[in-house]
Structure 1
Amino acid sequence: MERRTDSGIEVKALYGPADLDGWDPASQLGDPGKPPYTRGVYPTMYRGKLWTMRQYAG
């Protein structure tokens, strides 16, 4: 069964290590808290920050 996103990109039902051939995490993934922010905007994410509930009005 072929699955596609609304943009027409094919999506497999399951991905494995073979799908990562040629992918270098050291150069393409980045470090936490550093651009391109693929691993979050904070190095420790929210482990050192309490969650806050905010209310927006507009």
Structure 2
Amino acid sequence: MEQLTCILCDRPFTPNNKQSRRLQKHPHRMFLCPQCDERITFKTMARRGKKASGHPLSFPQRKFE
């Protein structure tokens, strides 16, 4: 497994299995280290007014009238 560099903090990290598979299929993608990813997820959930334990991509459902 190769080392990746975080695009925010420039620290090298070893990707997890999911990131490794994505990297093989899409080598041009950029990744965040786990610390930056967790920090951004926590701040995003706080801004949206949700618990930080939820999935980062779960958006509130809109009601169409």
- The TM-score, its normalising length taken from structure 1, stands at 0.23
Q: Which has the larger radius of gyration?
A: 1
Structure scoring higher RCO (CA < 8 A, sep ≥ 6) equals 2
- The TM-score, its normalising length taken from structure 2, stands at 0.22
Q: Which has the higher helix share?
A: 2
